[in-house]
């Protein structure tokens, strides 16, 4: 036999024993944009795990004398590998009496990777002071993305904000999925009266205008709650509305799957109701649920950002992307310190990445469709 046929046979064997998840991965792999976005999101969730490591400073450290410092761009080479940022030169404007900062590329502040700095604890388990990046001279402060009106380092604040915002998205969607799958599953599998009640509830929730209800709920949060309490309250509020679409989807899938031949075959084989749901129905739409959830996360992130931007979500001193954007609320700051818009850019990138990954997953999630 020719070689070609042997190779063909091997390839076929590999497909023959490939499980559903392997097939999904093979198809997902072909979406280059989605793959790239997934890499980006993994990086962002690394930040979520330990924002302090990626920070250069304490995000809450204020210094009024160092307000509105512009971006100090990171350079890697200076006669070979020797990273540096340009130094900041300040001059008081004699008319406005405001400090005006400029960067001076002639004077270099040398920085290095994995350098000691501010001590912090990792997951509350052990103490360390190693940061990804820091000035060689510990007395120097560096502002990779500039500073805000209180002289706080925006880079470090974005790291902390990423942790909050990305976590809110994930937790809110997880809660939505739990509500959605359980209620949608009950609705779809049992049908009848239960189904009617749940469907009417969903319609009620969906017909309530979301923004006012969020505003009302978050305004009702006691002022004296700790940032952690507020954080969880916000995620619950966000997921309260988010689960309805998922529940609809799950119910639809359940109804469609109930009619599938292989589900009937399982029934005729004598499988219990629970076994049919867990072994046959849930795995069939699990990949769809994952795809739908990854498309729901960016919505949650946007919602959180909007709420916080309006001052009704997460409140300072806690930091989220929305809180950071509050700094960019007036036209004067925008004109003077355009770098304060950078958190908005981060939101856009994150939301786009989630959408691209979600699209890729959705396309790949049904490897038997063709």
Residues that bind other proteins (CB under 8 A): 2, 4-5, 8, 12, 15-20, 23, 30, 260-262, 264-272, 275, 279-280, 283-284, 367-368
- CB of residue 37 to other proteins, shortest distance in Å: 20
CA dihedral of 204, 209, 212, 218, whole degrees rounded to 10: 50
Q: Select from 22, 20, 15, 31 the least CA-distant residue to 361.
A: 31
Q: Which of 354, 303, 291 is nearest to 41 (CA)?
A: 354
The CB-of-165 to other proteins minimum distance in angstroms stands at 35
Compute the least distance from the CB of residue 13 to other proteins, in Å: 8
For residue 253, which phi and psi values (nearest 5 degrees)? -65, -40
For other proteins, give the closer residue by CB, 266 or 310. Answer: 266
SS3 per residue for 118-187: EEEEECCCEEEEEEEEEECCCCCCCCCCCECCCCCEHHHHHHHHHHHHHHHHHHHHHHHHHHHHHHHHHH
Give CA–CA dist 159/320, Å, rounded: 9
Would you say 235 and 172 are in contact if contact means Cβ atoms under 8 Å apart? yes
CA distances from 308 to 46, 217, 317, 318 (A): 23, 13, 12, 10
CA distance 259 to 281: 11
- The least CB distance from residue 203 to other proteins, in Å, is 15
Q: Return the structure tokens found at 2.
A: 């020719």
The nearest distance, CB 193 to other proteins, in angstroms, is 13
CB of 5 to other proteins, least distance (A): 7
Cβ proximity to other proteins: between 16 and 97 the closer is 16
Rounded CA gap, 78 and 140, in Å?
A: 19
Nearer to other proteins, 118 or 366 (CB): 366
* Residue bearing tokens 């770098």: 339
Quote the distance between the C-alpha of residue 154 and its chain's center: 19
How is residue 194 written in tokens?
């239960």
Please state the closest distance from residue 287 (CB atom) to other proteins, in A: 9
Q: State the nearest-atom distance from the C-beta of 19 to other proteins, in Å.
A: 7
β-strands 75-77, 126-135 pairing: unpaired
Smallest distance from other proteins to CB 267, Å: 7
Burial of 355: CB neighbours in 10 Å, binned 0-12, 13-18, 19+: middle
For residue 267, the 8-state DSSP code is: H
Tell me the HSE value of 15 on the side-chain side, using a 13 A CA sphere: 10
Smallest separation, CB 254 to other proteins (Å): 16
Name the β-bridge partners of 128. 120
């Amino acid at each position: 036999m020719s070689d070609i046929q042997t190779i063909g046979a091997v390839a076929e064997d590999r497909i023959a024993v490939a499980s559903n998840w392997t097939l999904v991965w093979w198809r997902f792999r072909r979406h280059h944009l989605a793959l790239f976005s997934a890499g980006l999101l993994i990086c962002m969730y690394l930040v979520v795990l330990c924002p302090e490591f990626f920070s250069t400073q304490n995000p809450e450290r204020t210094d009024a004398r160092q307000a509105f410092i512009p971006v100090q761009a990171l350079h890697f080479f200076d006669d070979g590998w020797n990273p540096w940022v340009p130094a900041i030169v300040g001059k008081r404007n004699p008319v406005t009496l405001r400090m005006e900062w400029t960067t001076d590329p002639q004077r270099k502040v040398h920085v290095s990777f994995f350098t000691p700095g501010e001590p912090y604890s990792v997951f509350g388990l052990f103490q360390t002071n190693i940061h990804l990046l820091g000035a060689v001279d510990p007395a120097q402060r560096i502002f990779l993305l500039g500073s805000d009106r209180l002289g706080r380092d925006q880079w470090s604040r974005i790291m902390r904000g990423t942790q909050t915002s990305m976590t809110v998205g994930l937790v809110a969607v997880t809660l939505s999925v739990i509500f959605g799958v359980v209620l949608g599953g009950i609705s779809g599998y049992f049908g009848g009266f239960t189904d009617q009640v749940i469907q009417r509830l969903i319609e009620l929730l969906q017909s309530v205008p979301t923004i006012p209800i969020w505003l009302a709920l978050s305004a009702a949060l006691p002022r004296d709650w700790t940032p952690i309490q507020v954080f969880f309250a916000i995620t619950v509020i966000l997921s309260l509305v988010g689960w309805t679409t998922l529940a609809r989807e799950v119910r639809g899938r359940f109804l469609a799957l109930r009619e599938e031949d292989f589900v009937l075959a399982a029934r005729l084989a004598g499988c219990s109701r629970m076994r049919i749901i867990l072994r046959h129905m849930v795995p069939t739409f699990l990949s769809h649920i994952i795809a739908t959830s990854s498309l729901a996360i960016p919505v949650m992130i946007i919602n959180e950002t909007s709420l916080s931007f309006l001052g009704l979500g997460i409140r300072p001193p806690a930091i989220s992307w929305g809180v950071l954007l509050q700094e960019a609320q007036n036209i004067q700051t925008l004109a003077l310190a355009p770098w304060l818009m950078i958190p908005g850019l981060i939101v856009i990138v994150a939301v786009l990445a989630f959408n691209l990954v979600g699209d890729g997953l959705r396309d790949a999630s049904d490897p038997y469709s063709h």
